[in-house]
Chain A
């Protein structure tokens, strides 16, 4: 630890708890931050890191526990109160106005003025000084934010925080979309801030970065403290073990299936949103898991395969044939995509279940150019029985269903459209345990019927329980690929966070 242990903490959070309905997001979490300290906040997705930071920033109010800033009680009633208390969140572009210039954004909300007229010279001088101090004098004050790179936007936010007299900066995955060079420059900025006595809470999944930049760490798991200590002297394996915790025993119904011939061949595919080209192969009756961190490039890969994003290079062969790269033609070739954004992309929430199930293949119900509603509703009802969807009937809106049942509606749609290659993007996110088990079982059954399944998940136990092979994405590329039996939770986490297997 570089910070003197004797000095009083700038921030202490004691026994903080928060629940959302029946789910406990945080319970009894302690967190302490020293002056000039870089404190890494670690944990798997859903461990409670962002909830804790939202409480710190004032965006959420804790149900229990208390906080103190420099020894004084701190109970912000909103993000603005948090900022006034000296707590500043650095997100990416969230708090910047894209049309406004660097200067305008930095001054936003506290523009220096004389009876309403802007007085800019002094503020411009201070912004220029701060940018120079941060090692980024090249950022022009009159440049609109939307023309700046992500890295430069972060620097603008940090500049604003510093001019706001922030004492605590929260950086949430600050490097996830930065180039290596920008990452290195950001670390230099962090070191300068430390030297100025600014404390930083650093949230990242990239453990090697954490080792390079942080002094101490705190690991959260399932909304509770899993451990904390000094970074120096703590091996990565120990941190990974804390993040993963004890192996969770869950029900993964096993359905026998056997891989057949190659069904989907992706060769050097680079889509418009992908960072690196990706090559993979999927056989009939095979479940291939795609592990990795959020933002590692898995969703972007699925989108490119499905023709949602333009293809810059590489090929996609389905049962040996190329086909046009757009969703309509991919569906006809037998591809089906289950989006990670169920409410935004997956379902037409206000439309009926029948509409949602049949909308990707209406041809069978066409009669003289009109839709045969009776047969369509009957078919939808049949699918609802097959998938055990709990709902009042095929006419009800999709929005009235629980998350698990909604996911089954989407699954029904993919089967209804007679998809052969199923691209599942986080199919179990945010759904109950029963529905999860049913979806696992369906995945197995589909493989047994000779379909090929790409299963994207950030929750490693389910990949280990369901898949035949698992490929791990790290920063846009596949870092490793092995039979599921050769992986463990720890190995997956290590590959996903370091890129080394």
Chain B
């Protein structure tokens, strides 16, 4: 009983990485790009490109574990980025501007949670409405154009050649890694994380066991918003302007990353490690395709196939385990 269990847990440990390894192996084997693909410079570029989706995925994982969804993610990123740019433009200290951006994201998430629990609406509807509201607010505040902001240290966050150079990776990448570890610990080692899983697995059981389900949900959407706000700051840092039309459709990339990483839209399942791997599978695919000179539409088709394949593989794995 024990050794097959160990084998199974070993497989389960490696399984999430398989997709990523496959993608890496595939492009490393391509004669046209093999020399450049696994170079440090390219890895750094991919890591930096991943930061925005990864930050969003950290929050989205939490929400999807509870059986919810946040369709307003991309709009929230745009709004938070615009607010940050606006604040810097108005001469606020950069740190304060960044905090304002993060606060904006948190507030949008908090509002999502409040509406979902108070109005008893499904998250899909509430966050779909919020998608329009946040996007519209962003355009309104930016008067339908890009907000230019003077360069500050905030723009260094996503720089591909970080200063000091011993950092190796952009500060944003380091922040992403640290926050991923923090969230993994929160999910696995705290009461809050366990309640998130319980709510997603069986909400009525959670309620019966005395968990304050509504309060937990509001907190969870607020935390998701916090990460999206951070993601917005990163978006601003990368663009150096506040662009209200940026990141359209990015919420689907974020959701896809979580789902490829084993998150179940029915709730109760998902992990930070999985979601991060999902993010990198998509980033490396995009990067590899670009290097190959494949057109955009090929990337879209491949990523579409990956999403369906990853989720169906996950289901097969679960069925055999049950």
Q: Knowing A97-B201, A99-B200, say if A79 contacts B208 (CB, 8 Å).
A: yes
What total of chain B residues lie within 8 Å of the partner, measured CB to CB?
21
Q: How far is the CA of A48 from the CA of B202 in the complex (A)?
A: 27
Interface centre among A79, A98, A99, A116 (most CB of B within 10 A): A99
Complex CA gap A80/B208 in Å reads: 6
A104-B191 in contact given A79-B208, A98-B268, A109-B209 (Cβ < 8 Å): no
> Are A99's CB and B322's CB within 8 A?
no
**A146-B206 contact given A97-B197, A117-B190, A118-B190, CB 8 Å threshold:** no
Check if B29 is an interface residue, CB within 8 A of chain A: no
* Contacting pair B198 A97 (CB below 8 A): yes
Question: Which residues of chain A are near B200, meaning CB under 8 Å?
Answer: 99
Query: With A and B bound together, what is the CA distance between A113 and B192 in angstroms?
Result: 11
Shortest beta-carbon distance, A149 to chain B, in Å?
12
* B185 nearest CB neighbor, chain A only: A117
Query: Hey, which chain A residues are within 8 Å of B194, CB to CB?
Result: 100, 104, 107-108, 111, 118
Residues of A within 8 A of B192 (CB): 116
Contact flag A108-B211 (CB < 8 Å), given A94-B205, A97-B205, A99-B268: yes
A100 partner, pick from B189, B201, B204, beta carbons under 8 A: B201
Complex-state Cα separation, A106 to B113, whole angstroms: 28
Kindly state whether residue B253 has any CB partner on chain A within 8 Å. Answer: no
A111 to B269, CA, bound (A): 20
| Given known contacts A80-B210, A97-B268, A108-B198, A118 and B189 CB-to-CB distance under 8 angstroms | yes
Closest A residue, CB atoms, query B269: A99
Known contacts being A97-B205, A117-B189, is A147 close to B210, with CB within 8 Å?
A: no
Contacts of A116 in B (CB 8 A): 190-192
Report A172-208 CB contacts with B as 1/0, cut-off 8 Å: 0000000000000000000000000000000000000
Q: How far is the CA of A108 from the CA of B200 in the complex (A)?
A: 13
Q: Mark B112-125, 1 if CB is under 8 A from A, else 0.
A: 00000000000000
Shortest CB-to-CB span from A164 to chain B, Å, is 9
Determine if A98 and B210 form an interchain contact, defined as CB atoms under 8 angstroms apart: no
Answer yes or no: B305 CB below 8 A from chain A CBs. Answer: no
B13 at the interface (CB under 8 A from A): no
Contact B210 A104 (CB under 8 A): no
Residues of chain B with a CB closer than 8 A to A95's CB: 202, 204-205, 208-209
* Residue in B197, B201, B211, B322 whose beta carbon sits within 8 Å of that of A109 in the complex: B211
Note all chain A residues with C-beta closer than 8 A to B205: 94-97, 108
B321: interface (CB < 8 Å): yes
Q: Mark A54-81, 1 if CB is under 8 A from B, else 0.
A: 0000000000000000000000000110
- Check A477 for interface membership: any CB of B closer than 8 A: no
Tell me which residues from 175 to 233 in chain B have a Cβ below 8 Å from any Cβ of chain A: 189-192, 194, 197-198, 200-202, 204-206, 208-211
> In the complex, A98 Cα to B197 Cα: how many Å?
10
Tell me the smallest distance from the CB of A458 to a CB of chain B, in Å. Answer: 26
Asked if A83 lies at the interface with its beta carbon under 8 angstroms from chain B, I say yes
Is A110 part of the contact surface with B, judged by Cβ < 8 Å?
A: yes
| Complex Cα spacing A119 to B322, Å | 29
Q: Which of A109-153 contact B (CB under 8 A)?
A: 109-111, 113, 116-118, 146-147
Residues of B within 8 A of A79 (CB): 208
- Contacts of A359-417 to chain B: CB distance below 8 A: none
A117 / chain B contacts, CB cutoff of 8 Å: 189-191
Smallest CB gap from A146: residue in B: B322
Residues of B within 8 A of A97 (CB): 197-198, 201-202, 205-206, 268
- Chain B residue contacts of A111, Cβ below 8 A: 191, 194
Contact with B along A81-103 (1 / 0, CB 8 A): 00100000000001111111000
Closest Cβ–Cβ distance, residue B179 to chain A (whole Å): 17
Chain A residue nearest to B65 in the complex (CB): A99
* Residues of chain B contacted by A147 (CB below 8 angstroms): 321-322
Chain B residues whose CB sits within 8 angstroms of the CB of A108 once the complex forms: 194, 198, 205-206, 209, 211
Q: How far apart are the CA atoms of A99 and B268 in the complex, in Å?
A: 6
Which chain A residues lie closer than 8 Å to B268 at the CB level? 97-100
Closest B residue by C-beta to A164: B209
Interfacial chain A residues near B206, Cβ < 8 Å: 97, 108-109
CA distance A110 to B208 in the complex (A): 12
Measured CB to CB, the nearest residue on chain B to A143 is B5
Q: How far is the CA of A79 from the CA of B268 in the complex (A)?
A: 23
Name, among B190, B198, B268, the residue most crowded by chain A CB atoms within 10 Å (CB to CB): B198
In the complex, chain B residues whose CB is within 8 Å of the CB of A80: 208, 210
Partner of B210, one of A109, A113, A118, A146: A109
B183 to A: closest C-beta gap in Å: 14
Q: What distance in Å separates the Cβ of B321 from its nearest Cβ neighbour in chain A?
A: 7
Interface centre among A95, A109, A147 (most CB of B within 10 A): A109
CA distance A117 to B185 in the complex (A): 9
Smallest CB-CB separation from B211: which chain A residue?
A109
B43 CB to nearest chain A CB (Å): 34
Contact A113/B211 with A99-B201, A108-B198 known, Cβ cut-off 8 Å: no
- Assess whether A96 is in contact with B210, with CB atoms less than 8 Å apart: no
Chain A residue numbers with a CB within 8 Å of B269 are 99
CB-CB under 8 A from B189, the residues of chain A are 117-118
Contact B202 A96 (CB under 8 A): yes
Which B-chain residue is minimally distant from A80 (CB atoms)?
A: B210
- Chain A 290-313: CB-based contact to B (< 8 A → 1; otherwise 0): 000000000000000000000000
A297 to nearest B CB, angstroms?
Answer: 24
Q: B191 contacts which chain A residues (CB < 8 A)?
A: 111, 113, 116-118
> Can you give 24 A-B contacts (C-beta < 8 A)?
A80-B208, A80-B210, A83-B208, A94-B204, A95-B205, A95-B209, A97-B197, A97-B205, A97-B268, A98-B201, A98-B268, A99-B200, A99-B268, A100-B201, A104-B198, A108-B205, A108-B209, A109-B209, A111-B191, A111-B194, A116-B192, A117-B190, A118-B189, A147-B322
- Spell out B's residues near A (CB within 8 Å): 189-192, 194, 197-198, 200-202, 204-206, 208-211, 268-269, 321-322
| Extra A-B contacts (17), CB below 8 Å, given A98-B202, A109-B209 | A80-B210, A83-B210, A95-B208, A97-B202, A97-B206, A99-B201, A99-B268, A99-B269, A100-B194, A100-B198, A100-B201, A104-B194, A108-B209, A111-B194, A118-B191, A146-B322, A147-B321
Shortest beta-carbon contacts, A-B, top 9:
A109-B209, A97-B201, A99-B268, A109-B210, A99-B201, A97-B202, A108-B209, A111-B191, A95-B205
